[in-house]
Amino acid sequence: MGFEVEIIQWLQTFSDAITKGFFTFWTMFGEELIIIAIMGFIFWCFDKEAGEFIGFSVFISLIMNSVIKVIVKRIRPFDAYEDLIHNWRDETAGGYSFPSGHTQGASSVFGSAAVWFKKRWLTIIATVIIIMVAISRMYLGAHYLTDVIAGGLLGIGIALLVHYLFKIIPNRNQLYLWTMVGSIFLLAIMFLTQMQAFANDAPNFYSKLEGLFKMTGAFIGFVGGIMYEKQHVNFSMHRVIWKNLIRFLAGVAIVMGIRYSLSFLFDLIINPESLGVTDIALAGVAMTLDLVRYFIMVFIAIGIYPLVFKKLKI
């Protein structure tokens, strides 16, 4: 749609260093580190049940985002139009364009928090963040207007749906198991169909599906971690600020340490950047390692790490 490109072009006319820094700041609210930090803080330090709800909503939402991207296959604006600026934070814009993953991630985590806590001030803050993330993604040339609108509506819609399911389903373990089976089934379908589509383009095959494998692994790790924590850990919340600060900082450090150390180790086995065009099997192995990495990262964060700070009484 021409008007969508014109919106991006108009935003990019404000291309000085200050504006670039401003929108780069806002786009980070839809990125992995911020989302992990917010979910970790709520689950470890503030409200365990709220953290369970927000985490479930976010991972379901991002799995759906990855599936829709693969089905729709919309090319990103900076790939479709050479006159758009496309060298700003390219590392945050892999795969397809529709719907916006950053906007959907932000609307999932902040929208879920607003839905759960029902505070007017939080709803206002969440709305501002979601809108600014959406604008930033267009400014960076990574998404069209319809991409960010769809991402925002999907994130909020899934948060509302999950909130409803949490209220009407007494046995959440059953909900968790069925959704986990469904996510694995979707992953298998997407893998088999796209393997045929990219039979002679293994690097593209990997780049288009890695997000789905990562989010599926994270979701399985989350479900497993929640079940393990409830049965074997059952840590308690408190309002001791310095202890919660230790919980939070150590938790984020552990999670990100696992993420990057496993990435380094798995790259020694198969480095996705070195895939040849016919290395479809190796691409599949690389994606599976991504799934395993995110499973381990989230399972430890949700199930194992709470046992550590419970034993240390912090």
- Position 2 in a domain: yes
CA distance 179 to 56: 10
Written as tens digits, the pLDDT of the chain (314 aa) is 678 887 877 787 877 778 888 888 999 998 888 999 999 999 999 999 999 999 999 999 999 999 999 888 888 887 767 767 665 556 666 778 889 999 999 999 999 999 999 999 999 999 999 999 999 998 888 888 999 999 999 999 999 999 999 989 888 888 999 999 999 999 999 998 888 888 788 888 888 898 999 999 999 999 999 999 999 999 988 889 999 999 999 999 999 999 999 999 999 998 888 888 888 889 889 999 999 999 999 999 999 999 998 888 88
CA distance 244 to 237: 9
- Position 307 in a domain: yes
End residue of a domain, out of 168, 187, 214: 168
Q: How far is CA 109 from CA 116, 119, 194, in A?
A: 11, 15, 29
Same domain, yes or no: 209 and 141: no
Same domain, yes or no: 124 and 228: no
- Position 222 in a domain: yes
- Position 260 in a domain: yes
Of the candidates 53, 73, 67, which has an alpha carbon nearest to the alpha carbon of residue 185?
67
Per the rule left: phi > 0, alpha: psi between -120 and 50, beta: everything else, 73 is left
Q: How far is CA 25 from CA 38, 138, 181, in A?
A: 16, 14, 37
- Position 13 in a domain: yes
Same domain, yes or no: 146 and 234: no
For the chain, the domain total comes to: 2
Query: Are 89 and 137 within 8 A, CB to CB?
Result: no
Query: Are 131 and 82 within 8 A, CB to CB?
Result: no
Of the candidates 277, 241, 235, 268, which has an alpha carbon nearest to the alpha carbon of residue 43?
235
Same domain, yes or no: 114 and 19: yes
Structural domain harbouring 240:
197-314
- Position 221 in a domain: yes
Same domain, yes or no: 258 and 309: yes
Cα atoms in the 13 Å half-sphere on the side-chain side of 125: 13
CA distance 17 to 24: 10
**31 CB contacts (<8 Å, ≥6 apart)?**
92, 102, 105
Same domain, yes or no: 224 and 158: no
